[in-house]
Every structure is written in structure tokens, then in C-alpha cells.
Amino acid sequence: MTSNQKDSLDAVVVGAGFAGLYMLYRLREAGFTTRVYEAGESVGGVWYWNRYPGARCDIESIYYNYTFSKELYQEWTWTSKYPEQPEILRYLNFVADKFHLRQDIQFNTRITAAHYESESNRWKIYMNDDETVYAKYFITGIGCLSATNIPHFKGLDSFEGEWYHTGRWPHEKVDFKGKKVGIIGTGSSGVQAIPVIAKEAEHLTVFQRTPQYTVPARNHLYDPEYIKRSKENFEMIRKQMRESTSGNGFISRDRSALDDSQEQRYQVYENAWNEGGYAFTSTYKDLFVNEEANKTAAEFIRTKIKEIVCDPKVAEKLLPNYYYGTKRPILDTNYYETFNRKNVTLIDVKNAPIEKLTPKGLRTADAEYELDILVFATGYDGMTGPLFNIDIRGKNGVKLKEKWEDGSKVRTYLGLSTAGFPNFFTITGPESPSVLVNMPAAIEQHVEWIADCISYLQENNVETIEATIEAEQKWSNHCREVAEMTLYVKTDSWYTGANIVGKPRSFLIYLGGFDVYRKICDEVASNGYNGFHLS
Ligand code: N01
């Protein structure tokens, strides 16, 4: 280690969201000196930054939490099926306080770079305030959706109104009352924000590029009896989260959509629509792999849109035509209904694209819209974006961004590690199941694997662990082969990187199932970390 080293730790973790908090807990429990660095002024990760109106989770709350502590599960009580952002943030603050995590978190600090120094086998980590710290292990818990995408529209600087991105929402309330508001984007964030903003704004103009499939969430307050039972059934819920394909409470029916008659299928979809939530995606096992099966679900939702939206011309503009579910399936509360309001206008910016922002509003190819406030619900540079925002350099100064050729050649072993970058772990990194699994479940699995791995290295006097080139090549190929068997790769989405101008297209999520993935990771560990070079 170098003499000017100010501080030396066993591990540095980036981010104090679900991933970083648990990583800190596990490593500290195992006796490793660990510090988390967090850009925000408090804990929460995406739930700290995403404070836009209507922000809530789309996974049922009794599953959208940690299961590592039975006591924690008993102590915390969720109020509704799909909790709003403030409640999730309260939960994460509760966790941080219960386990005294804040004392090892440095807030208001952004990690800008991490360089591996081969002479000392240490990572030198740089912060935005010019401080540096050394650590043996460098671990990112920065999520897959933390690098905001604000499209480079001409004239943004000239716009005299207020503008916000959903993922960097101010802490104070934004007042829409009496205002002409515009919103660009109709993904999960836009679909949640639109009905809420519409209720308050004088007028809301929705700039839609791609119409979306969304099904009703049918959120409701929890019955105390249900909560009591979920606490009693903690072990079962935990097992279900850890051993299921999706890390979640729902299990797809083992039946093809094509095995049912049209009438039967309609009834199955209708029941799921009425039940709400992800009951719809679980109706048939082949919705995301079989084009014909997929079309039946897509057509059902298109029919619903035509029934709900009163003006046939508006309904027509809202009809999606990509494969259902190949952009993240969305749950909504009165989304399509909102287009029946008199103060809401839907503008199709696929046919008449946004040209620029002007001092008074937004101009498309065929009209100008006066706006006081503009909301960017334009999403994220997913998967690689957060990692590339940090200047990560491995052995011989090789940059991660260069090794992965700006994202066109991402290669990881198990989505956890990459050759040439020893002692570096990515929690829910590219090529892990991550965003297509219930995130807290995916995070717990990664954190536990990493913590166990580091303990193993310590117990066996191993200084460094590094994925081999062969192992990562094999894993990356496997990920791609599995993805190619699905319909996901056929759609432009943030899953495929197609949402970012100039970003190479690649599908960086492991789709073989969370249960299968866990077994693979466990086997690697129990075989003495095969596929890794230990020295
Ligand atoms: O982002 P998105 P998001 N001109 O990328 C449009 C998670 N999440 O923040 O589809 C015009 O899905 C873009 O149009 P198109 C969840 O995993 C979860 O909504 O590319 N439009 C699209 O409509 C989710 O999938 C929760 O043609 C432009 C929208 O902006 C992920 O985060 C809540 C444009 C972006 O949609 C991202 O969701 C929120 C342009 N230049 C988020 N650029 C829950 O738990 C982009 N768009 C419920």
C-alpha cells in the first residue's frame, strides 16, 4: 500500500439503497471494515431520488423487502399492497436505524473513480471532493436504473419554465396548480405520474412516443388480518422469494395461452385484469416466448383501451403494437381513464417528433405547446449507465468502459464480476437476473454470495479473486442464448439499450430464472469458486 494512503478499508461499497445497506450489514457482521459512500444526503437509493407524484412500487410490499432478518420482518408493517415512495423510504430509514448502519455511511459523497493498483492489490477510490480511500474490495450497489436519461433537445436552456426528471425529483412539493404542464414519456414513471399530475394541473399535455400496455394495479390498503398472516408465514414467504423463478409471490400458470379456446383465454385475462397487479403476466407460461401467445394478451389489452377511452381517436393513439411485456409491464391506477379528462391532451411524438424547446414551451414537427412546467419521464441509461458513470479501471489501467467497448461487448461472470478487475463485485450487475426479478430478492442473493465469498477468501488466505476470461465468455454467451429464445430482444427498450441514442444494442439480463441462477452461483461457490482465478 502507498504511504500517502489516508485510510484503508476491507471494502468500499457504492450506494446506500437496498443493495448497499445490506452489503454493509453483512460485511460488518462478518468482521470486515466497510464504508458505504452515497451521493444523496440520506439512505434509499432509487427510492431517495424518485419522489415524483404517484411514485410507488409495482411489486407487492410484503415481498418487496428484506428477508434476512425475521425480527425486521415482524417489526415493520406495510400499509398497502403497492406502497408509495415515501413509505418505502421510511422502511429503508427504519432498516438503517435498526442496524445502526449510518455510522458507516458517508453521505453527500459521489464516487467518481476506482482504480486497481496491482502492486498493493488495493482499489484506490476517488470522491467528488478530491478525497481518496483505499480498499481491498470494491463493490457497487448502484442499481440498474440510476443514470438518468435527459434527451438532448435543442433549446432546453432557453425554456423559461421549470423542468424536472422523475428520477431527480425535488424534495419540496412541485406545485402544478393552475399550471400548463407537459410530460415526455409513458414508461412506468410516466404512467404513474400522469394521472396524479392531471388531477392538479390546469392542463396536462402528454408527449407519447410509444404507447404502452398497462394493467390496473388495484392497489388497496392491507387488511390487518392479511398482514398478521404474512408475518406468521414469514418462513414461507422467504422461501418463496428465494426459491422461485421471479423472486416474487406469484407463480405463472404452467399452461400455454394457445391451449385454451378464445373464450377460456378471455375469461382468464378478464379475471387477471380484475384481480390487478402481476396476475396478468402470470396467466400463461409462454407469453414472453411465443409470438402467438403474446398476441392474445396484447389484443386483450388493446380491447380494454378501446373500451375505457371515450374518444376513439385518442384510444387509437394509445394502442400499443409491440410484444406485450417486452418493455417492462406496467401497473397503473386510472392511466387510460385519465385521457377522458378534459384537461389532458395526448400528443403523438412518433409521427410529429419533438423538435426543440422554446422559451415558452415545446415545439414538435407540427405545433407548439405552451408550458409552465415540463416533466421528463424519459427513463435511464440502464444496466451499464451507472457503472460507466464511474471511471473504473482494472489491471494495467484498463477502463471498464473500454473493456466492454462502450457496452457493445459486456462480459461478466455471473453478472457479479469481470476479468481484469480483481476484487471487484457488482450487485445486480449486467448479466445477472436483476431487474427481471424482484429486486430485494435479487439483491439479497448477490450480497450473501459476495459476503460469503469474501469470508472464504479471508479464511483461505487468498488475496485476490478474478473471473477468468473463459468463464465470463461462457457466461455471456449463455445469457445471450437464453435471451434470444424470448421475445424481449425483439423490442426497442431500455432492456436492450435501444432507448439511448448511440448506445450499442445488447440484452444484459439473465433470463434463465432466479432459482436456476441461484443454484449456479451456489455451485460455483461450493466448488471452490470455479471460473475464478484465486491468488
Ligand atoms: O423509463 P422508460 P421509466 N422523445 O425507459 C420516452 C423502473 N421503474 O422511468 O418507449 C420522446 O420505461 C420513452 O419512449 P419510447 C421500471 O423497471 C419502476 O418510465 O422509448 N419520448 C418512454 O415512453 C421501469 O421500466 C417503477 O419510445 C422519449 C419513456 O420516455 C424503469 O424504471 C416506477 C424520448 C421512458 O420510459 C424505467 O421506467 C418507475 C424522446 N427523446 C420506474 N426518450 C415501479 O416500481 C425517451 N422517451 C412502478
pLDDT of residue 250: 79
pLDDT of residue 7: 60
| Residue identifier of the C-alpha nearest atom 7 of ligand 1 | 188
Give residues (CB < 6 A) around ligand 1: 57-58, 145, 151, 166, 184-190, 192, 209-210, 328, 349, 354, 377-380, 435, 494, 499
Tell how strand 132-140 and strand 424-426 pair up: parallel
Residue 521 in contact with residue 447, Cβ under 8 Å?
no
- Backbone φ and ψ for 14, nearest 5 degrees, come out as -100, 125
Count the residues in the chain. Answer: 535
Question: Can you tell me the distance from the alpha carbon of 518 to that of 535, in angstroms, rounded to the nearest whole number?
Answer: 25
Angle at the Cα of 485 (from 484 to 487), degrees rounded to 5? 80
Q: Which atom of ligand 1 is nearest to the CA of 492?
A: 20
**Residue 330 CA, ligand 1 centroid: distance in Å:** 10
Residue (of 254, 250, 244) closest to 279 by Cα position: 250
Question: Can you tell me the distance from the alpha carbon of 336 to that of 350, in angstroms, rounded to the nearest whole number?
Answer: 19
Kindly give the interhelix angle for 262-275 and 291-308, rounded to the nearest 10 degrees.
60
| Residue identifier of the C-alpha nearest atom 24 of ligand 1 | 188
pLDDT of residue 292: 98
Angle at the Cα of 479 (from 476 to 482), degrees rounded to 5? 150
**Residue 11 CA, ligand 1 centroid: distance in Å:** 34
**Residue 149 CA, ligand 1 centroid: distance in Å:** 9
pLDDT of residue 367: 97
Helix (H) or strand (E) holding 314: helix 312-317
**Residue 187 CA, ligand 1 centroid: distance in Å:** 4
Q: Which atom of ligand 1 is nearest to the CA of 153?
A: 41
Q: Which of 46, 154, 188 to mutate to test the pocket of ligand 1 (most atoms within 8 A of CB)?
A: 188
Residue (of 112, 139, 188, 143) closest to 47 by Cα position: 143
| Residue identifier of the C-alpha nearest atom 18 of ligand 1 | 188
**Residue 404 CA, ligand 1 centroid: distance in Å:** 24
Q: How many CB atoms lie within 10 A of CB 308?
A: 17
Question: Can you tell me the distance from the alpha carbon of 378 to that of 385, in angstroms, rounded to the nearest whole number?
Answer: 14
**Residue 255 CA, ligand 1 centroid: distance in Å:** 31
pLDDT of residue 251: 81
Q: Which atom of ligand 1 is nearest to the CA of 50?
A: 39
Question: Can you tell me the distance from the alpha carbon of 49 to that of 89, in angstroms, rounded to the nearest whole number?
Answer: 10
CA dihedral defined by 103, 108, 112, 116, rounded to 10 degrees? -10
Q: Which atom of ligand 1 is nearest to the CA of 328?
A: 25
Long-range contacts from 479-484, C-beta under 8 angstroms, 24+ separation: 479/431, 479/507, 479/508, 479/509, 479/510, 479/511, 480/506, 480/507, 482/510, 482/511, 482/512, 483/507, 483/509, 483/511
Question: Can you tell me the distance from the alpha carbon of 20 to that of 26, in angstroms, rounded to the nearest whole number?
Answer: 10
Q: Which of 246, 378, 434 to mutate to test the pocket of ligand 1 (most atoms within 8 A of CB)?
A: 378
Spell out the per-residue pLDDT of the chain, length 535, in tens.
333 445 689 999 999 999 999 999 999 999 999 999 999 999 999 999 999 999 999 999 999 999 999 999 999 999 999 999 999 999 999 999 999 999 999 999 999 999 999 999 999 999 999 999 999 999 999 999 999 999 999 999 999 999 999 999 999 999 999 999 999 999 999 999 999 999 999 999 999 999 999 999 999 999 999 999 999 999 999 999 999 999 998 788 899 999 999 999 999 999 999 999 999 999 999 999 999 999 999 999 999 999 999 999 999 999 999 999 999 999 999 999 999 999 999 999 999 999 999 999 999 999 999 999 999 999 999 999 999 999 999 999 999 999 999 889 999 999 999 999 999 999 999 999 999 999 999 999 999 999 999 999 999 999 999 999 999 999 999 999 999 999 999 999 999 999 999 999 999 999 999 999 999 999 999 999 999 999 9
Q: Which atom of ligand 1 is nearest to the CA of 186?
A: 23
**Residue 189 CA, ligand 1 centroid: distance in Å:** 6
Query: What is the gyration radius of the CA atoms in the chain, in angstroms?
Result: 23
Residue (of 89, 68, 327) closest to 186 by Cα position: 327
**Residue 191 CA, ligand 1 centroid: distance in Å:** 9
Burial class (CB in 10 A: 0-12, 13-18, 19+), 470: exposed
| Residue identifier of the C-alpha nearest atom 37 of ligand 1 | 379
**Residue 185 CA, ligand 1 centroid: distance in Å:** 6
Is ipTM strictly over 0.90?
A: yes
Distance (Å) of CA 535 to CA 15, 423, 458 = 28, 11, 12
Question: Which amino acid is present at 211?
Answer: P
| Residue identifier of the C-alpha nearest atom 12 of ligand 1 | 187
Residue 128 in contact with residue 109, Cβ under 8 Å?
yes
**Residue 453 CA, ligand 1 centroid: distance in Å:** 35
Is residue 273 classed as helix, strand or coil in its secondary structure? helix
Residue (of 43, 40, 38, 37) closest to 9 by Cα position: 37
Q: How many CA atoms lie within 13 A of 59 on its CB side?
A: 19
Residue 450 in contact with residue 20, Cβ under 8 Å?
no
**Residue 269 CA, ligand 1 centroid: distance in Å:** 25
Burial class (CB in 10 A: 0-12, 13-18, 19+), 292: exposed
| Residue identifier of the C-alpha nearest atom 25 of ligand 1 | 328
Q: Which atom of ligand 1 is nearest to the CA of 190?
A: 19
| Residue identifier of the C-alpha nearest atom 13 of ligand 1 | 185
**Residue 385 CA, ligand 1 centroid: distance in Å:** 15
Question: Can you tell me the distance from the alpha carbon of 269 to that of 283, in angstroms, rounded to the nearest whole number?
Answer: 7
Question: Can you tell me the distance from the alpha carbon of 400 to that of 392, in angstroms, rounded to the nearest whole number?
Answer: 6
**Which residue is associated with the grid cell 476506482?**
114
Residue 174 is given by DSSP the state: P
Q: Which atom of ligand 1 is nearest to the CA of 498?
A: 20
Q: pTM for the whole thing?
A: 0.97
Residue (of 532, 518, 524) closest to 462 by Cα position: 532
